[in-house]
Structure formats: C-alpha cells, structure tokens
Structure 1
Amino acid sequence: MKLAAPLALALTVALALESTADARGPRDGKPWGRGTLMPNVGLGAGFSQDLSLVSIGLGASYFVANGLAFGLGVTDTIFIFSRSLRATYPGIEDQVATNMLRVMPTLQYVFWRSRWFSPYVFGGVGPVFLNHGGGTVGEWNAGPGAFIGLGGPVYLDLGVGFSARFPAESCNAAFYYDGPDAAGQVLDACSFRWGPRIGLVLAFGGGGGGGRSRRAPPPDPPPRTSPQTWEEPAPIETWEEPAPAPEAAPPAAEGPEPPPADASASEQASASEQASADDADAATTGDTTVTTEVQVEAPPRVIPDR
C-alpha cells in the first residue's frame, strides 16, 4: 500500500506529459526525440572495512517531448556488516536498517541532441522505505551527464550524481543502535553524497531516440517521350520530255508507335534507394534503448564508538 501512492502519482504525471507532448508537433529524427523509450538496469556496490553495500535497480524513461524524458526507477540496497562490527555492536543487524527500497520519479533534459555528444541534466525526488521499523524518508538526487556515441547503436553514459535523504532526524533514527554497552547512531547514511554514474546505452529502431523520421516521397518520374512521326518526303518531279512524270509513290504505312518510356523501373529504384537510406538511419539510433548502468557508491561512514 505504501508504494501505491507514488506509483499512481508517477503514472498520472507521465500520462499528462505525454498528452501535452502530442500537441508539440512531429519528431525531428534526432537522437533522444519524442517517443523514445529507454529501459535501464543499474548495479551498484561499495566496500569499506566495517560495511559493504550492494544495490540493484530497474527503471525506464520515456521521452514525452524532444529531449525531455520522464522516468521512474526502483532500487533496492542491502547493507552488509562486517564480523568485527557485529562483535562491537551485538544485535546491530536486528536494530539498524539493513535494507532500503527507493522509488524515484525523475526528469531528464537533453539540451543538445547529437549523434556523438548529447549533454543532459537530471533530477528527481521520491520515498525511501527502511526495514526494522525505520519508516519512510525522502531522497532527492540530481546531476549532469552526457551520452557519447561510440559508433552504431552504442552510447556511453557518463555523469555525476548528487543526493541526500531527508528529514535528517527521521533518517538518522533508523540507524540508531541501543545496546547494553553502547548506544548512539552508528551509520551516517543520510548526509549529502555524490558519486560517478557510468553506463552503456544500446539504441534500436528508427529515429535515433527521436522516432522514425518521415520517409521522403520518391522523386517524380521522368516525363514520357512522345514518339516522333516521320513524314514521307514529297516526290521529286522530273521535267524531261517526252517521258511523263513518274507517279508519286504511296506513302509508307506508319509503324506502331514505340511504347512509352517505362517510369516504373526508375520509380522502384528511387523507392529502393530511399528505403535503404532510411534503414541506414535506423541502424544508428532508435526508438527503444536498453541502458546498463554501473554506479560506484561509497558505503555509509561508520561512526566511531562513543
């Protein structure tokens, strides 16, 4: 039930933005244009002496207008405490939050759409659900990035992400340990953080993420050539006497008209060349992209024993 409200809100916003985008005219054929769907898979990991974390995420972004995408992602993060930390804080794995489920609606804007370099900015805010009675807190993230074309349908996604959880009091309480020998906050998992974002994007279809471009109409067929008629020259009169002038020979029967020039062959060749050009454009970019993202994230800092 806790997920119903954010998911319903995300779906409502997506439908509203898509309806608005439909009135903004056709797609222009550039990468990351209206109608592009970009599903993604994210993997993250972080390691330290006392704590490790592993995260996996699934999501998708849809370009509701040229360069403007609305996305929704779900990420699950697991904290793994070291043996020494569990010995120092007995029962910590049962008191402190060890799992975070994040639901993050985002907006992404690609302000320069190019086949080889497309910089963008992104931002989002959403709920984070914590186990072991940690409740629900909020999280925001934002940052810059760029899609870099590597050739064909392959893009490199490079960026930097900044994030923090709020309110700080509620978030810190989820990582509070109350034991027989020590008590206090043991993990700093709620403060400001940043890290790199690295991924690969595979684009398939037509239009480069900007939808299939409109196929140009085939060129007009060449004009038909009208057959030429050859008139029989007039007979030459002779003035010799006394021989009578020869009779004029009857005009030769005209042969059948040559068939009109067949324009269908040239039309078919032009249409074939145009289809080949459209297929070549479709090979470079696409309406459906698959994103694999690897995010290196530092684990929360362990606060020294007080």
Structure 2
Amino acid sequence: MRRTVVLTALVALALPVRAAQADDDYRPFRRGTILPSFSLGGSFSRNYGGSLLVGAGASYFVAGGFAVGLHLRNVTTFYSQYFKEQVGPDIFAKIPTNEFSLTPSLLWVIYRGERVAPYLSFGVGPVFLNKQRGVMGQWTIGPGVMFRAGGSLWLDLGIGLGMRFTKDRCQEAYNYLDPITDYACGFTWGFRAGLVFGLGGRRQASPPSQPSPPAQYTPPPASSYPAPAQPVPNASPPPTPAAPVEAPPEGPPQPTPPPTPVETPSPANPPAATPPPAATPTETSPVPPPGENLPVPPPA
C-alpha cells in the first residue's frame, strides 16, 4: 500500500510539466485563477447508517490547468439503531461520530473546455477524530467533471477514493471494532458533489489575433520631365584683393602758375587771319557732274 501511495504522489507531481505547456490567456483555469469550492456529499449503509460530508477549500492555479490548494472537510456519521444494539452502549460510547480533515491538494484540469472540464485531484493530510480517538493520516484521489452553470460558477461532480494510514494507528483508533477494523481502515469510495467558483485570471474566450502583415511601399511613377540641373560650383579662383592706395607723401604746396597774358592786337602784332568759310552748296547752286569743275563767277 505504501508503494501505491508513493507512486501516486510521483505521478501527481509530474502533472505540472504538461499543465505548463497548455497555459494560455483565454481558456478557463489559466494561471492566476483562484478556485474556491464548496462540497457536499454523503453515504448510506443498510446496516450501519449514513454520513454527511461538508467541505470547503480553495485552489490557486500556478500554471494553466494545474493548481495547488487546501481543503477542509467535516464528516458526521449517523449510526443505525441496529448497529447500536449490535455493539452495545459501552462500545458505542467510544466510536467517533465526527471526523475533521485538513488536506493539502493538487488539481489537474485535463481538458480546459468552456462548458465541460474533466479533472483529477490528489490530496494527503491528517484526520482528527472526536471522543479522544487520536489523529491519523489519509490520502484521497478524486476524478471528476465540472460543468459550467453560468459565468464563473461550475457544478462539480466526482468520485472520492481514499484510505487511512498508517494501519497500526488506524487500528489503535478503532480497536473497539475488532475484528471488523477493515471497515474503518480499508479502502473507501463515495460520490462527491459541490459548487466551484472561478475568480480572476480568466479572460473572455477569443481566438488569438493574427499579426497584421507589414505595409507594402509602392514607389511613385517616374516623371516625364527632366530632372532639374544641379548648381555647379564656380571653379574660378577668388578675386585678388586690390592693393591699398597709398596716400601721397605730405610736402609743401606747389605754387600756382601765373595766368597767361592776353595779347592786344596792334599793327605790330596783327591778329591771326581767319580762314574764309567754305562755300556751302545751296539748292540753287549748280552741282557739277562728276569729273568737272564748277565755273567761278567773275568778281563784281
């Protein structure tokens, strides 16, 4: 039996590897989701009576579909009158009628559907008995299915399988039932039902958006006009700066020459003869033909 418990624990610890691969941002029970739960169950036996199970807990998803949690459970047993008469009042006074368990658990949601989500849970923890019957351990495995009831509310239906350990401690707690201790310390199973609320960590279901393709750049059509001429830098050498004009050396002022005397005409110094004006042909003067001289009229 111990080998079975160890093997089950190893399988449960290997679940995060696959759960992390299924992590995403739009399916239920993604990373960061808190899953409070309320459980209600019971059992019935024709000869021994029945029991009522009430539980509550919470699980936190550390990866998509994989959560760790803590669950509290209280089981109250109602024994039949037939059983009381069979064991007698002295023995019945030692039989615990209430069991309280504190169970750390692992939860693996196998399929994270929007409407249906099958899962597998595993837990191990202490069980406290009333009437001073001591403390023992218990492991449980619970396959089940969650159905969406609306929004973040889920209906949880499953089967609980479990067993108490160690066998010596269990037999010591139930020694008043000898030789039928297998009833309390053997393998047990039962149906489970409850309500589950998924809080936070979940977004609306929508397919992942595809990245838009990069925009294609289309160059503008070439113009029929020739490209404008680029200015050509002037290759002529820069002009040589003109030499500064030197001021004339300062010296004494030059004497002004005397005016030229005007000579008065006299018999000894007659004025210069003025050449006679050239005869200008008029309209009435005859013009000699080419090669001939004009006749000079006689003096009057």
Which category describes the TM-score, using the shorter chain as reference length? 0.5 to 0.7
Equivalent residue in structure 2 for 1:43, among 36, 40, 44: 40
Task: After superposing the two structures, state which structure 1 stretch, 152-161 or 31-40, moved more.
Answer: 152-161
Equivalent residue in structure 1 for 2:70, among 38, 50, 72: 72
Give secondary structure in 2 for the equivalent of 1:189: helix
Aligned pairs for 1:197-208 within 5 A? 197-203=192-198, 207=202
How far is 1:98 from its partner?
2.1
Q: How many Å separate the matches in 2 of 1:158 and 1:77?
A: 18
1:33 alignment partner AA: R
Aligned pairs for 1:171-210 within 5 A? 171-177=170-176, 184-185=179-180, 188-203=183-198, 207=202
How far is 1:161 from its partner?
2.1
* TM-score computed with the length of structure 2 as normaliser: 0.54
- CA contact under 8 A between 2:38 and 2:196: conserved in structure 1? no
1:31 and 2:28 aligned: yes
* TM-score computed with the length of structure 1 as normaliser: 0.53
Name the residue aligned to 1:63.
Answer: 61
- Structure with the greater relative contact order (CA < 8 A, sep ≥ 6): 1 or 2? 1
Q: How many Å separate the matches in 2 of 1:78 and 1:187?
A: 19
Give secondary structure in 2 for the equivalent of 1:169: helix
Give secondary structure in 2 for the equivalent of 1:123: strand
How far is 1:100 from its partner?
1.1
Q: How many Å separate the matches in 1 of 2:201 and 2:64?
A: 15
Identity %: 39
Aligned pairs for 1:107-256 within 5 A? 107-150=106-149, 152-177=151-176, 184-185=179-180, 188-203=183-198, 207=202
Structure 2 CA distance for partners of 1:81 and 1:145, relative to 1, 3 Å: closer
Structure 2 CA distance for partners of 1:98 and 1:28, relative to 1, 3 Å: same
Name the residue aligned to 1:100.
Answer: 99
Structure 2 CA distance for partners of 1:140 and 1:101, relative to 1, 3 Å: same
1:67 alignment partner AA: G
- 5+ residue gaps, structure 2: 1-19, 213-300
**After superposition, what is the alpha-carbon deviation per residue over 1:85-143, rounded to whole angstroms, capped at 9, x for unaligned?**
32331223321222211111000011322212322211111011112232111100113
Structure 2 CA distance for partners of 1:45 and 1:148, relative to 1, 3 Å: closer
Name the residue aligned to 2:264.
Answer: none
1:34 alignment partner AA: R
Count of matched residue positions in the alignment of Structure 1 and Structure 2: 191
Larger Rg: 2
Structure 2 CA distance for partners of 1:151 and 1:130, relative to 1, 3 Å: closer
How far is 1:162 from its partner?
1.3
Name the residue aligned to 2:291.
Answer: none
Q: How many Å separate the matches in 2 of 1:80 and 1:149?
A: 33
**After superposition, what is the alpha-carbon deviation per residue over 1:30-63, rounded to whole angstroms, capped at 9, x for unaligned?**
1001111111111222233332222211211111
1:91 and 2:90 aligned: yes
- CA contact under 8 A between 1:154 and 1:201: conserved in structure 2? yes
Structure 2 CA distance for partners of 1:117 and 1:168, relative to 1, 3 Å: same
- 5+ residue gaps, structure 1: 1-22, 220-306
